[in-house]
Structure 1
């Protein structure tokens, strides 16, 4: 029952995200907005409820099975992928480079932002 409660809660957040996107015409996927809402809720609560933790652990333990439909879709559209291999390869390459550069920049920024000033070594600046 704990698993079902957790799955229900996860699906409710996904539904709320989807409805919000449709009503407000927000240009992001509904499940992504639902995930952000869930994240904010968990941050405010300060902990993860046991049903959500059980459901998410079960889903993550079977994550590899969730990639099967994507693999089947790639095989079903293999001819199109073969015809358009160059734009697909370039898009993957440049998006990877852009993501790595953005991640490095954000990491440096947050490292500086969260770095604590060192406590004085006995001398004061005057």
Structure 2
């Protein structure tokens, strides 16, 4: 049941993002806005619920299936993509590099090392 609750939460943020994008005629797609809203929600909440964790694990395991059609579609666009392969390749490489750098930076900022003391508000009283 919690898996279904997690999928419903993700769907709710997707619909909310699509609605905001449509109502305000934003140049950003609704799924990106929904993802940002979900991220903001999780930052404010300071925890990920069990249902959301289960649902996201399932979606991540299927991520290769979601990306495969787009990659296969590029194969059939040879005429349209003629002369644009260098730009596509450079943008994919730069985007991947920026993703790695930003992920590493965020991990360093957000994950505490075991040797670091906890802030007083997070220490448990014994």
Structure 1 length-normalised TM: 0.67
Any gaps of 5 or more consecutive residues in structure 1? 112-126
Tell me which stretches of 4 or more aligned residues in structure 1 moved more than 3 Å: 86-93
Bigger radius of gyration among the two: 1
2:13 corresponding residue in structure 1: 13
Higher helix share: 1
Deviation readout 1:32-81 (Å, 9 max, x if unpaired): 11111111111111100111100001111222111111122112212322
2:27 corresponding residue in structure 1: 27
Any gaps of 5 or more consecutive residues in structure 2? 110-126
Could you tell me how far 1:90 is from its partner in structure 2? 5.4
Could you tell me how far 1:88 is from its partner in structure 2? 3.4
Deviation readout 1:57-113 (Å, 9 max, x if unpaired): 1111222111111122112212322343344345556x55x948x96xxx6xxx8xx
